[in-house]
Amino acid sequence: MGFDAKPSLRDQKKEATATALAEVAFELALEHGLDGFVVDDVAQRAGYSRRTFANYFSCKEDAVAAGAITIKNTDAYESFLAGLPKDTPPLELMHLLLKMQLTAEFMQQLRKFVLLSKRHPTLEPYLLSVFHRLQMSAQEVMNEFSHGRYPVGYTHLLAGAVYGAFMPLLDGSLNVYLPGQPEEAPASALPFEQYVESIFAYLRNGF
């Protein structure tokens, strides 16, 4: 779908079906663990057939991964992007995208998926696919928004660097306090917002 194009009713329905199945799969994984449900359970709770599930996902792990990165405020997200100046540089566009996308709710979903993958090894290969989907989505937006003013390799490198910087936050490798974490932030922990700004400062100024 182009940046300025309105998705057809058919595309909207397909996207809604995929989202509904993915959200249910993620919910069931959180409730029962990956071994506590089957594909038929996902289809039944979402109100679709097993065949419909197979049209969108290869297995329940695939659906759970998709459910972890569901963005619920898509209308606001698209309106925000449509209102940006057309000459917004890719780096600043990426910064704005991240600030809108990585809400407390979204980060908590990703953390829950990381914890699930640690308990269920069959999910681990899909952890990389989660970040790949996020990266590819960001690249698509940047490429469409810039209308060819920047090479594809540039947007690929930029999106890869940005999303790669967030992977250690989710598995606890970096001492960063995430938005929405219920516990008190340790004195030594770097606030998430400060971490985001530092990443983009590095990208603006070079390493």
Tell me the per-residue pLDDT of 12-45, one tens digit each, with 9 for 90 and over.
788 889 999 999 999 999 999 999 999 999 999 9
Q: Are residues 146 and 178 in the same domain?
A: yes
Residue 85, domain member (yes or no): yes
The per-residue pLDDT for 51 is 95
Number of domains within the chain: 2
Q: Are residues 132 and 177 in the same domain?
A: yes
The per-residue pLDDT for 185 is 59
Residue 142, domain member (yes or no): yes
Q: Are residues 78 and 132 in the same domain?
A: yes
The per-residue pLDDT for 49 is 95
Residue 7, domain member (yes or no): yes
SS3 content of the chain, % helix, strand, coil (to 5): 70, 0, 25
Residues lower than pLDDT 70 in the chain: 1-7, 71-78, 179-186, 207
The per-residue pLDDT for 168 is 80
Residue ranges with strand state E in the chain: 176-177, 190-191
Could you list the residue range(s) of the whole structural domain that residue 135 is in? 69-205
The per-residue pLDDT for 27 is 95
